[in-house]
Structure 1
């Protein structure tokens, strides 16, 4: 039995707890939150006996195997390092951290302490995304000329006001891109499989009273010469289904939360991927499905039992943050940034 602990019992913790409960070999063993009542509510729902308000005390438990880090983004790095030092495996919510320096500190700790780490980017488990990546890798779309992500969410001012860390550089690390859009940005770069070599962007708070961006547009150039576009916002009402459009010289793929809209290659019949469960959350963060979390939690269990790397190791988890930081820098400096 693989015993899990959760640090941070806010909204996303339920996705982790639900996922753990669905596995055969995993069990939620302990929960921790600085607000004890939050920890007690989660513990009661999942019949957990071990409740903490200090995560370092939780890490002293020799029966604990894996820790899910569900705290504000800017706290992930310190906690990942402490968990690794304690010899526990790590499941970390997105983003892995909010700066390149903090991501590198995590990687350094993992080189020192032999534990495994899974980053939560559940969109990578979507059937359409997996099939798209395979078609691109096989060269069946030809040269990629346009690859774009449209990430239009709705979060009202009350959402940002509901927790002091939301919409801050210090703990959120950014706004619509770093918090919500990071999933889509990770997926786009993973599917295309090319490095982004330059970006020119605009980002700002156009409708919300926050210090980070609620709206951003970014023009990308891929290593293979093609272009890309990322539109990310939390000001669109109602929130729209996330959508990806990838155009190669031989065909077009368009899909998102609403399913596949186009799946065409010149002179070739390709079967549509099976539709999976929508990940949700465009308008209500509490509506995010735990289906993708289950796949990644189960993968983490298998990685531990069979001593292999998890599906999304930290070397992968850091990539979206690097691109988002370049987008922010481009907007702030009003110039193209080369990566």
Structure 2
């Protein structure tokens, strides 16, 4: 399928050929007929992409600080690699999609194949969209009209926050697409609307729609006009839909408001607010969030958990439906807003000169295809054969892009497939790293006899299922940690593993780091007990991030701290026999975000793993101290190792290396040679069980034996 993307590195807007998505549970697969180009939002993204690195930095000063902190802790090269990797990830454009449903995912009951729907899908021939971001189109609403659904919901949400009443006077600042829709919806609510804009074309169009439209460039003072129009009372409410970096708009909005007036920001403006302006009139100010309640809530959007209508009357989906009903009832007229229709293949007619465009709304028109969408795109027809280290990768996220593929490229691996749910990220990486095929259906990897190794880098809740499927397909498996999220998943994996001669490998890369290998050699291979203090200054992540969800990410102990459990096992040369964990426990997410894990090993080794998220980002992310036979080793952030009491060794430094390259070199040698797993299966099981035991210990307040 074809999809419009923005390359943030070089600024090019591209019509990319990518595999069509497979419908997911809780989603509907839509074949697009129309999509609307939001000139304001998309122009901003395109212009950001075209900006040079210095200009990009000036636009995102908070990101610059993060980069500088990372340079201090990780070094210049790892930081630059991370920045360029992020910029190398293309951005899909568009969020106003119309089409027909061609497939329905498991658990969806509100839609059926053949339904015409509007959604926030991208500019792509096929999109798979969660059911709470999709709305049915009334029969008397055309596809062209329905393309305004999502953009209309943005304006409608601003209106709902303003809470207008019949007879009130509202000002809409900025008569672009959202502004014109907002003004019409306010009129439909029984309000008198004044609109301001500097574009004569938009002023003329606004007047034809019943808006009292004023161009300040004609010499009209906006504040005086509103005061005169309202007989000195001022506007009951102001909705700002303009985009302007200055602070003048917010100041004028306050001055033209009546006492106790309401100001709602839908657009993007400077917010250096004068206290006096707001204090004297007791004005209220609120920023509107996109389409409405539910936006950015993963439970609502991705998991389909609706808010009870009695308590949240207007969610984002119900706002979509309300806009469609308003169009159906002719309360708003969107057809005059359409400036042009452009075939998808001619997209450059729109994106070629967005900065100079006078378009209100541009509609992309899609070809009506009857054939089944392609889900594998081939870029390189080179020959593969089994037992030669042929790899299929499932998952094309940031870690795959930044670490896995660059490492595999330096080994003997032959990567035949990369599978991604949406198709775009996999296609981008396939082109960048010379992967032969991009697909959205990972079953292609399992059924291809050439593929020796399945490499899994998806969200954690999919690991166990995919490991079992790969083993049943007679493939070696490498899965990024964790192997499983609970004992039941682990047992199912082991039951399948016992019936095959294929290996399971888990991405515990720290033990393959050069400084870890050096520490192990300095300690020697004797089973002498040692003391280990490991600190992970992991950094905070939002409480609603999927990693914290115990059913999806497993929490940060099972999902991330397992790295250091394995490292301690490697250095101890023994297995964990019991675990105790204490957590800060201020909030549910922090129960596995700030914790200390105590490990007792069979050979007498003691280890303490401090996994903290409340430390400074400018401090080292990982640190290790080892005490043994009147000797001490201190490793700082995989860049420096110091030895105290060791004959012939005092220190060693290197570029930051957490062992990924060495890990994949050993892995490919094992796969090609038919050898053992890169980590003994007993140790993988022991580490996994130890991570489960840590959570159980936190809940019970006691030591847990493995």
C-alpha contact 2:597 2:609 (8 A) present in aligned 1: yes
645, 661, 664: which one aligns with 1:294: 661
Structure-2 change in CA distance of 1:68 and 1:258 (3 Å): closer
Structure-2 change in CA distance of 1:103 and 1:226 (3 Å): same
- Output the CA distance in 1 between the equivalents of 2:488 and 2:405: 30
Aligned 1:229-268 pairs, distance under 5 A: 229-238=608-617, 240-265=620-645
- Output the CA distance in 2 between the equivalents of 1:37 and 1:120: 25
Structure-2 change in CA distance of 1:31 and 1:205 (3 Å): farther
Aligned 1:164-183 pairs, distance under 5 A: 165-175=546-556, 177-183=557-563
State the partner residue of 2:347.
none
181, 185, 199: which one aligns with 2:565: 185
- Output the CA distance in 2 between the equivalents of 1:156 and 1:337: 28
Aligned 1:41-120 pairs, distance under 5 A: 41-120=428-507
C-alpha contact 2:572 2:605 (8 A) present in aligned 1: no
Structure 1 residue 169: Cα displacement: 0.7
State the partner residue of 2:291.
none
540, 555, 574: which one aligns with 1:155: 540
Structure 1 residue 153: Cα displacement: 1.1
Structure 1 residue 34: Cα displacement: 1.6
- Output the CA distance in 1 between the equivalents of 2:455 and 2:399: 11
TM-score by length of 1: 0.83
Q: Does 1:28 align with 2:415?
A: yes
Structure-2 change in CA distance of 1:194 and 1:10 (3 Å): same
C-alpha contact 1:118 1:296 (8 A) present in aligned 2: no
Aligned 1:120-131 pairs, distance under 5 A: 120-131=507-518
- Output the CA distance in 2 between the equivalents of 1:67 and 1:258: 28
662, 671, 692: which one aligns with 1:325: 692
- Output the CA distance in 1 between the equivalents of 2:466 and 2:486: 15
State the partner residue of 1:228.
607
Structure 1 residue 253: Cα displacement: 1.5
Structure number, greater radius of gyration: 2
Structure 1 residue 54: Cα displacement: 2.1
- Output the CA distance in 2 between the equivalents of 1:211 and 1:201: 13
Deviations 1:60-100 (Å, cap 9, x if unpaired)? 22222211100112211110111111122211111122223
Structure 1 residue 231: Cα displacement: 0.6
State the partner residue of 1:213.
592
- Output the CA distance in 2 between the equivalents of 1:52 and 1:296: 26
- Output the CA distance in 1 between the equivalents of 2:673 and 2:576: 34
Structure-2 change in CA distance of 1:261 and 1:18 (3 Å): closer
When structure 1 is superposed on structure 2, of 128-137 and 185-194 the one drifting more is 128-137
Structure 1 residue 192: Cα displacement: 1.0
Q: Does 1:305 align with 2:672?
A: yes
Deviations 1:255-313 (Å, cap 9, x if unpaired)? 13254453133xx513357544314xxxxxxxxx7xx3322222222112222113224
State the partner residue of 1:202.
582
Structure-2 change in CA distance of 1:228 and 1:63 (3 Å): closer
- Output the CA distance in 1 between the equivalents of 2:537 and 2:518: 23
Deviations 1:148-207 (Å, cap 9, x if unpaired)? 2111111332xx65x6x32111121122x2233221221012101233333332125547
- Output the CA distance in 1 between the equivalents of 2:422 and 2:585: 30
C-alpha contact 1:117 1:313 (8 A) present in aligned 2: no
- Output the CA distance in 2 between the equivalents of 1:44 and 1:334: 51
State the partner residue of 2:391.
4
- Output the CA distance in 1 between the equivalents of 2:393 and 2:590: 29
- Output the CA distance in 1 between the equivalents of 2:675 and 2:653: 29
404, 407, 421: which one aligns with 1:16: 404
C-alpha contact 1:147 1:227 (8 A) present in aligned 2: yes
User: Secondary structure, in 3 states, of the residue corresponding to 1:71?
Assistant: coil
- Output the CA distance in 2 between the equivalents of 1:117 and 1:220: 25
- Output the CA distance in 1 between the equivalents of 2:427 and 2:394: 13
State the partner residue of 1:315.
682
User: Secondary structure, in 3 states, of the residue corresponding to 1:271?
Assistant: coil
- Output the CA distance in 2 between the equivalents of 1:223 and 1:243: 24
- Output the CA distance in 1 between the equivalents of 2:502 and 2:579: 35
Structure-2 change in CA distance of 1:274 and 1:117 (3 Å): farther
User: Secondary structure, in 3 states, of the residue corresponding to 1:170?
Assistant: coil
Structure 1 gaps, min length 5:
280-288
- Output the CA distance in 2 between the equivalents of 1:138 and 1:312: 16
Q: Does 1:277 align with 2:655?
A: yes
Structure-2 change in CA distance of 1:276 and 1:42 (3 Å): same
C-alpha contact 1:182 1:320 (8 A) present in aligned 2: yes
- Output the CA distance in 1 between the equivalents of 2:591 and 2:432: 35
User: Secondary structure, in 3 states, of the residue corresponding to 2:555?
Assistant: coil
RMSD across aligned C-alpha pairs, in angstroms?
A: 2.6
When structure 1 is superposed on structure 2, of 101-110 and 81-90 the one drifting more is 101-110
State the partner residue of 1:336.
703
